[in-house]
Amino acid sequence: MATIKQALISVSDKDGIVEFSQKLIASGVRILSTGGTARLLRDNGLEVVEVSDYTGFPEMLDGRVKTLHPKIHGGLLGRRDLPEHVAKMKEYDIEEIDMVVVNLYPFVETIAKPDCSFADAIENIDIGGPTMLRSAAKNYTAVTVIIDPADYAPIIDEMQAHNGAVSKERNFALAKKVFASTAAYDAAIANHLGLFPVPDAVPADQQFFPETYTWQGAKAQDLRYGENPNQKAAFYKDAKINEPCISNAKQLQGKELSFNNILDSNAAFELVKEFKEPAAVYIKHTNPCGGATSNDAPLAEILRRARACDPVSAFGGIVAINQEVDEESALVLAETFIEAVIAPGFSAEARAVLTAKQALRLLESPLLGGYEAGGLEFKKVVGGFLLQERDLKEDVSDNWTTASKREPTANELATMKFAWKICKHVKSNAIVLAADNCLVGVGAGQMSRVDSVNISINKAQVPTAGSVLASDAFFPFRDGIDAAAKAGITAIIQPGGSNRDDEAIAAVNENNMAMIFTGNRHFKH
C-alpha cells in the first residue's frame, strides 16, 4: 500500500474539494496547488504550497505553463522501488508526490455552447491536467490519482482505515478511470476539431461529420452470449445519456437481459416514444407485431388491442408502454408469455401481479417528456462503420399532400398518422395496415414491396376492409396498390417520389382510394 504524504490538487470542478483537502491535511498530508484552487483552499483557512514556489518557476503564458516541470513529473513518475530513480530524484531535489487530484478544463461543456468560437474551443483544451493525470496513472503502484469527485469519500475512508495508505488495487482502478477519461477527453477534442476544414472556420463552414470519429462507452455488463450461443457479447453505454432509453432503464425483476432482449427492448421503446397519447406496442425480432393508441380507452384495453394484431407473434415478444403500468394492465400482460416489459413505471399493485412471473424482465425507464432526442448512430461493417443522424425528423402532416382525387376522411387521416409512426420502425421493405389506431397487419423486411403488402394482408387477424396502409418508401409499381385495393384497403400513406408515381396515383383513383404523399422516406435496414 502507498502512504499519502504529499498531494497535488488542481481542479476545475471544485465541488467537495475544500472538505476533501481538510481531511487530507488532518491526515498529515502536505498540499501543493495552483491558481484558483490554491486561492479557494487558502480562503477556507487551509495551508497550501503554490506549485510555482515548489518548482521555483513561475506560472507563465496566461497559465498555459505551470505544472509542466521535472519537479512535478519526476515526483509522479519516479519509481520508489528502483534505487537509480530514487538517487536521481535526490540529486535534483525532486520530492515524491503521492496523490494527484485533477479534473480538466470543461472542453465538452464549452463546445456545447451555441456561440462557442474556434478560439474558445482551443483555449479550453487542457494540457497540464491530462499530462499530470497520465503520469500519475502510469505509476499507480506508488501514486493515487483522482479525476472524479465521487472518489473523494472512498479514498478518505481507505486512508483512515489504513494509517494514511491506499491499496494498489484501489490505485489501479483509479488509474484505469483516468486513462478512460483522458481518452474520452482527447476524443472529444479530435471529433470537434475534425469538423473544421481550416482554422478559425465559422459555423457555416464546418463539416457535419469530423475527419475522424471516436466513441467511448462504459461496459454495463457482460452478456451470457450474443445473438447466438457461439458469440461472446457485452453491453456498453454512453457516458452521458440525455433521454429515456434502454440504456438508462432500471431492471426491477426477471432474468438477466440477453443481447437480443436489449436490441428488442430498444426497438420497442423507441417506437412507443413516438406517441404522446397512451400507447403500447409488441415487438418481435425488432419489428412491431402489435400496437395501439387511445386517448379514451384504459391502458389495459390498449394492450388488448395491440396484442390482438398478431397474438401468435406476440408470444415471447417484448412490450413497450409509454404510461405507468397499473394493476389491470399487469393482469393483461400476465395472460401471455413475454420476455420483457419496458415502461416509465409500475404501480405497486402491478408489481404484485407481475412478481409471480419471476422470469419476466421488468424495465423501468425514466419518465417520458421534457427531453430533446438527438445524437448519431453507427452501424458496424467489416473493416469500418457507417455514421448517420438518428431518424428523428418530425413528420408534419401540414406538409403532406393529397395525391389522389379523393381526400382522406378524418378517420382515415388520423389512422394514417398512427400507421406512419409505426411504419418508421418496421424493417424495409415495410408495410403497415391499421384501423382505428390499432395495427391490423405488418409486412417487414421483404425483398419486394408487393410481397410485404401481401404478407401484411395475410397476417391480419381481422378483415382488412376499411384499413389504411402505410409504406416506408414509394411504390415502384402499381401491383402493391392493386393488392391493397383487392383487400378492401381504402387509403394509403407513402413518401412518393417514384418515376412511376403517376401509375400509383392512377391505381388509387381507379379504386376510389385516398393517397397521401409525405415527401419523407423511412427506410430501416
Residues annotated as part of the active site: 138, 285
Distance CA 369, CA 322 (A): 10
- Report H helices in 215-258: none
Distance CA 314, CA 112 (A): 42
Q: What is the DSSP string of 254-304?
A: SSPPPHHHHHHHHHHHHHHTT-SS-EEEEEETTEEEEEEE-SSS-HHHHHH
Asked if 328 and 354 count as a contact pair (C-beta separation under 8 A), the reply is: no
Asked if 281 and 291 count as a contact pair (C-beta separation under 8 A), the reply is: yes
Distance CA 173, CA 240 (A): 21
- Report H helices in 93-162: 107-111, 118-123, 128-138, 152-161
* Helix, strand or coil, per DSSP, at residue 362: strand
Asked if 245 and 371 count as a contact pair (C-beta separation under 8 A), the reply is: no
Pairing of strands 468-471, 491-494: parallel
Q: Which helix (H) or strand (E) is 341 found in, with range?
A: strand 340-343
* Helix, strand or coil, per DSSP, at residue 360: coil
Where does residue 518 rank: exposed (0-12), middle (13-18), buried (19+ CB within 10 A)?
buried
Residues constituting the chain: 525
Between the two ends of the chain, the Cα-to-Cα distance in Å is 54
Q: What is the DSSP string of 177-206?
A: HHHHHHHHHHHHHHHHHTT-SSTT--GGG-
* Helix, strand or coil, per DSSP, at residue 122: helix
Distance CA 73, CA 134 (A): 10
Task: Please choose, from the candidates 433, 428, 425, the residue with its C-alpha nearest in 3D space to the C-alpha of residue 490.
Answer: 433
Read off the amino acid at residue 117. Answer: S
